[in-house]
Structure 1
Amino acid sequence: MASNVQDVFMLFGDSITQGGWEPGLNALGQRLSHVYARKLDVLNRGFSGYNTEWAIPVFEQCFAKRADEHAPKVQVLTIWFGANDACIKPSPQHVPLSKFISNMKHLVQMVKSPTSAYYSPTTRIILITPPPVDTYQRRADLESRNPPIALDRLFATTEAYAQAVKDVAAEENVAVVDVWGTLWEAVGKEEKSLTKFLIDGLHLNEAGYQVVYDELIKTITQVYPDIHYDNLGPIFPPWAQIDWDAPLKSLYIKEHNE
């Protein structure tokens, strides 16, 4: 008997993923949980401040091994890193670009490779690029703290890490959501205009999460249409379809009756 009859939509990333359920933002996780209600359980596996180096051992504990036949199946996996890896030295969050690329490939191959203990051939993988950094807003935010903190990110550096995510997606043949490029085009390539989408020069506001949600659903529609919420039925029947005279026949799925 399965421990959970409902499959999973897992969001794996840093604070921008973790913030997907923040009250008042109508953010990514909230929106996905709404449209996938009774179809897929949307799991928040975002870890504030984490980079890919720290994410790998965490992923090994968050993602079920192939031998665990009782674990819910992860139907969709988003991997959203780069915002912290792109920190500049001497930040402990900094991961060199070459190592970041290697780590991203490793995360993908943990799921895709038939030799991996975490092999899950039915999992649809979607990489997400970090958003652009507004260094004007970010510097002001950091300098306002007590004690003040020096600027920890550069615009061009984060752009390079965003490009690396797209390159990895192409090489590994998985889908990608280009948040960096979409937001940059939306502000007319004016860095100071990124305040429209960012709270502090780094994290997304409600408008920013709206863009990410729209682009993610567009990607699912184009690349993985079978897992679009409109193409999934509810895991249990609508109440009007229950056999009222013998409800247990309707309410237990097949595997529970075997």
Structure 2
Amino acid sequence: MAANVQDVIMLLGDSITQGGFIADGFGQKLSHVYARKLDVLNRGFSGYNTTWTIPVFEQLFAQQHEQQHVPKVRILTIWFGANDACIPPSIQHVPLPEFSSNLRRIIRMVTSPTSAWYSSITKIILITPPPVNTRQRGADLASRDPPRDLDREFEVTHQYAEAVKAVGAREGVPVVDLWTILYEAAGRDEAKLSEFLYDGLHLNEKGYQFVYDDIINTINKHFPELHYDKLQSVFVGHADINFDNPAETLKLRKAVLSDR
């Protein structure tokens, strides 16, 4: 029981999600503000694309008949595109139409009442891939042993980011448009993206700050009841403990006061 006392935020994605628990990463910041309210599960898989993620998600997201026995996923972030947008002949490449279809499939696994994984209380947030700094990325790949050719293109990744936005609009799912946020922050200058990317692809602390801020803004706008300031701790604060009979007040309660 002790491991399952809190409902969760699940972060689904590739290496940029997996790396979100670095110092001042977006996952670390979410864990801090949601401490004692919702646990944050990092389900980022380095190198994965949407095609490889579907069978994994089918195993890690509880089916309907299992959901009463495990913590409920209150918020699910879905963050892909950086690997899907690799240019052929990369094995990570997923054609744009298939990428969009894969995203819709993952979303509908959770949102469709006919799905074995349907969860009416799970709120979904999509995140676009960040822009690629091809100069940084090319230099990083060229420095490896053996050297590798550039595997991503700036405008191709932009197309995948736009596809995420289109899927979000079609499915009624809010989108954190990180591609536009970072490109605008860099003054629409690809070279200046190095301020937010440590190797031309993966985010540094400054880049993750934008992700965190916009996730919180999105929650506040679309799911305000799940903002950390609106949730209660699953156990009372120490000032509310009945010191004469502690067990009386130290009873598990739900952080989310009602399901909507």
Q: What RMSD in Å do the two structures reach over aligned CA positions?
A: 1.3
Secondary structure, in 3 states, of the residue corresponding to 1:100? helix
- What do the CA deviations read for 1:131-175 (whole angstroms, capped 9, x no partner)? 000001100100011100000000011000000000001100011
Secondary structure, in 3 states, of the residue corresponding to 2:140? helix
Tell me the CA shift for residue 3 of structure 1.
6.3
Tell me the CA shift for residue 2 of structure 1.
8.9
Secondary structure, in 3 states, of the residue corresponding to 1:10? strand
Deviates more, 1:237-246 or 1:167-176: 237-246
**Could you tell me which amino acid in structure 1 is paired with residue 153 of structure 2?**
L
Matches within 5 A, 1:59-208: 59-68=57-66, 69-208=68-207
**Could you tell me which amino acid in structure 2 is paired with residue 56 of structure 1?**
I
- Asked if 1:58 corresponds to 2:59, the answer is no
2:257 — aligned with what?
A: none
**In 2, Cα distance between the equivalents of 1:43 and 1:253?**
20
Secondary structure, in 3 states, of the residue corresponding to 1:6? coil
- What do the CA deviations read for 1:101-157 (whole angstroms, capped 9, x no partner)? 000000000000000111001111000000000001100100011100000000011
- What do the CA deviations read for 1:56-103 (whole angstroms, capped 9, x no partner)? 011111111111111100000000000000000011000000000000
User: Is this contact kept in 1: 2:133–2:193, CA < 8 A?
Assistant: yes
- Which runs of 5 or more residues in structure 1 are unaligned? none
**In 1, Cα distance between the equivalents of 2:2 and 2:169?**
35
**In 2, Cα distance between the equivalents of 1:197 and 1:102?**
30
**In 2, Cα distance between the equivalents of 1:153 and 1:3?**
41
2:17 — aligned with what?
A: 17
User: What TM-score comes out, normalization by structure 2 length?
Assistant: 0.95
Tell me the CA shift for residue 253 of structure 1.
2.8
1:231 — aligned with what?
A: 230
- Determine which of 37, 42, 45 is the counterpart of 1:44: 42
Tell me the CA shift for residue 188 of structure 1.
1.2
- Asked if 1:32 corresponds to 2:51, the answer is no
- Which runs of 5 or more residues in structure 2 are unaligned? 255-260
> Structure 1 residue runs of 4+, over 2 Å off?
252-255
**In 2, Cα distance between the equivalents of 1:121 and 1:174?**
14
Tell me the CA shift for residue 252 of structure 1.
2.4
**In 2, Cα distance between the equivalents of 1:132 and 1:218?**
21
User: Is this contact kept in 2: 1:86–1:157, CA < 8 A?
Assistant: yes
**In 1, Cα distance between the equivalents of 2:2 and 2:69?**
5
User: What TM-score comes out, normalization by structure 1 length?
Assistant: 0.95
2:258 — aligned with what?
A: none
User: Is this contact kept in 2: 1:3–1:70, CA < 8 A?
Assistant: no
Secondary structure, in 3 states, of the residue corresponding to 1:233? coil
